[in-house]
Structure 1
Amino acid sequence: MSNDHLKIITTEDGSHSLYNKELNETYHSFHGALQESRHVFIENGLRFWHTNNQNRGKVRIFELGFGTGLNALLTLDYAISQNIDIEYESIEAYPLNKTQYESLNYSQLIAEGSLSSYFTHLHEAEWDTFVSIHDKFQLKKIHSQIEILDVSSHSYDIIYYDAFAPSKQPQLWEIPQIEKVVKSLSQGSVFVTYCAQGQLKRNLKTLGLEVNTLPGPPGKKEMVLAIK
């Protein structure tokens, strides 16, 4: 499947996102891609976990939806600035092509442009194996779909659940797929997502997680942080 149906758009904070014509959905909030990812996944996901686990070693993160690479780039920036080791696994069924990812402006907006070569490396890294992007950041991109991936033997500290909205890809928000990733979390670890749908919160509670509804990023009232 090609990604010819994707169009680059500029969101309200000046950062790019992609519009998927087939799903009539954007990859990030049109109110601001960069500020949404920072608020949801970095501040309320990674920083929350790191603040409460200062004495832990390597942080293990699993992301559902590598997409534009924005969450990965922000996580790399955090790893470098905070001097922590991060092992980052991300699944993506339909990777962007070179023209698409080279057109995104994230590397100019983050860390004063100093991560530009790393952003390219994130996208060009070999699939299905760990690659050292930086001495603080190891990346494994998984070219697959979550429906057929088994992560039950893993022990992640943080899940970035960044699938398209439940109205667009409902199967990814139902218990079978949510349960699969929840099982891969170690005790005390976190599941974080921009989505605050009532059914998602009920599903997470059914799976034994402590569900916290937090203020969302600009343009979105709420988000969810769940703790195992």
Structure 2
Amino acid sequence: MEREIKIITTEDGSHSLYLPHLNETYHSFHGAYKESVHVFLLYGLEAWAAKNKGVQPIRIFEVGFGTGLNAWLALVWAEQNQIPVLYHTIEPFPLKEEVYGQLNYTGIEENLERFTPYFNLLHKAEWNQGGALSEYFNMKKDLTTLEEVQMYATDVVFFDAFAPSKQPELWEKPLLEKVVEAMNPGGVFVTYCAQGQLKRNLKGLGLEVETLPGPPGKKEMTRGVKVK
């Protein structure tokens, strides 16, 4: 049975997707674009890069390719900073072109319009195969679940699964442990979620956990750092 998907406009003018059967959105309705920049770029990729200058390539693992927004922002960052990024992402329910083709992320900031063609390239890239999409961005998209994916060593984790109330198994210790074990020393785990149980689970897996200011409309977010 095909899942119904509705395109919605969030408070910063960027799109998100709404799934009626889950009563869940792909991004914050307070601002999809600003949420991704804040959580995954500012406190994830950029924070790691600032502490690990000269370490290349940067290896990112994303739980939930979804709309492709996080991957596109990482590609833009890699090209602007001329730092190679190896991006590994998973998605069990990929979007059809009739949906992702309508999303407006590439027009939110005028100075990023030259990166517009890459958004469709990200979605059209072959599943379960790795390859270069630009000079500084190499991606592998796996059509699979976190339970089934083969992990690789990673520096930055974009944990962008649906909320714990919708996909509780992804936020429990066994699957979090799989992710943490793949993180390199000094690696960071970032997510929009600030649930107390998540923080306890990450601490129990040996991460140093920080509660950080959240994106617009959300008080807090979580970052974990692997110190060993």
Is the pair's TM-score, using the shorter chain for normalization, greater than 0.5?
yes
TM interval, short-chain normalised: over 0.9
Q: Could you tell me which residue of structure 1 aligns to residue 204 of structure 2? A: 206
Q: Could you tell me which residue of structure 2 aligns to residue 92 of structure 1? A: 91
Q: Supply the distance in 2 between the matched residues of 1:200 and 1:88 (Cα, whole angstroms).
A: 24
TM-superposition CA deviations, 1:55-83 (whole Å, max 9, x none): 20100000000000000011011101111
- The letter of the residue matching 1:122 is L
Q: Which secondary structure state, in structure 1, belongs to the residue aligned with residue 147 of structure 2? A: helix
Q: Could you tell me which residue of structure 1 aligns to residue 162 of structure 2? A: 164
Q: Could you tell me which residue of structure 1 aligns to residue 180 of structure 2? A: 182
Q: Supply the distance in 1 between the matched residues of 2:147 and 2:120 (Cα, whole angstroms).
A: 28
Q: Supply the distance in 1 between the matched residues of 2:132 and 2:213 (Cα, whole angstroms).
A: 34
Retained in 2: the 8 A contact 1:163–1:172?
Answer: yes
Q: Which secondary structure state, in structure 1, belongs to the residue aligned with residue 133 of structure 2? A: strand
Retained in 1: the 8 A contact 2:7–2:15?
Answer: yes
Deviation of 1:129 after TM superposition, in Å, equals: 1.0
Q: Could you tell me which residue of structure 1 aligns to residue 193 of structure 2? A: 195
Task: Give the TM-score of the pair, scaled to structure 1.
Answer: 0.97
TM-superposition CA deviations, 1:82-101 (whole Å, max 9, x none): 11000000000000001000
Q: Could you tell me which residue of structure 2 aligns to residue 53 of structure 1? A: 52
Q: Could you tell me which residue of structure 1 aligns to residue 10 of structure 2? A: 11
Q: Could you tell me which residue of structure 2 aligns to residue 225 of structure 1? A: 223
Q: Which secondary structure state, in structure 1, belongs to the residue aligned with residue 36 of structure 2? A: helix
Q: Could you tell me which residue of structure 1 aligns to residue 108 of structure 2? A: 109
Q: Could you tell me which residue of structure 2 aligns to residue 138 of structure 1? A: 138
Q: Supply the distance in 1 between the matched residues of 2:135 and 2:155 (Cα, whole angstroms).
A: 19
Tell me the number of residue pairs that the alignment of Structure 1 and Structure 2 aligns.
Answer: 225
Superposed, which structure 2 residues align to 1:26-37 within 5 Å?
A: 26-37=25-36
Retained in 1: the 8 A contact 2:59–2:155?
Answer: yes
Q: Supply the distance in 2 between the matched residues of 1:113 and 1:23 (Cα, whole angstroms).
A: 33
- The letter of the residue matching 1:157 is D
Q: Could you tell me which residue of structure 2 aligns to residue 216 of structure 1? A: 214
Going from structure 1 to structure 2, the CA distance change for 1:188 and 1:112 (only over 3 Å counts) comes to closer
Q: Supply the distance in 1 between the matched residues of 2:142 and 2:72 (Cα, whole angstroms).
A: 17
Q: CA RMSD in A?
A: 0.9
1:120 and 2:125 equivalent? no
Retained in 2: the 8 A contact 1:19–1:26?
Answer: yes
Retained in 2: the 8 A contact 1:121–1:133?
Answer: yes
Q: Which secondary structure state, in structure 2, belongs to the residue aligned with residue 148 of structure 1? A: coil
- The letter of the residue matching 1:135 is E
Retained in 2: the 8 A contact 1:40–1:194?
Answer: yes
- The letter of the residue matching 2:83 is I
Q: Select between 199-208 and 103-112 the one with higher mean Cα deviation.
A: 103-112
Q: Select between 44-53 and 142-151 the one with higher mean Cα deviation.
A: 142-151
Q: Supply the distance in 2 between the matched residues of 1:135 and 1:81 (Cα, whole angstroms).
A: 11
Retained in 2: the 8 A contact 1:2–1:94?
Answer: no
Task: Give the TM-score of the pair, scaled to structure 2.
Answer: 0.97
Q: Supply the distance in 2 between the matched residues of 1:221 and 1:25 (Cα, whole angstroms).
A: 19
Q: Give the % identical residues.
A: 54
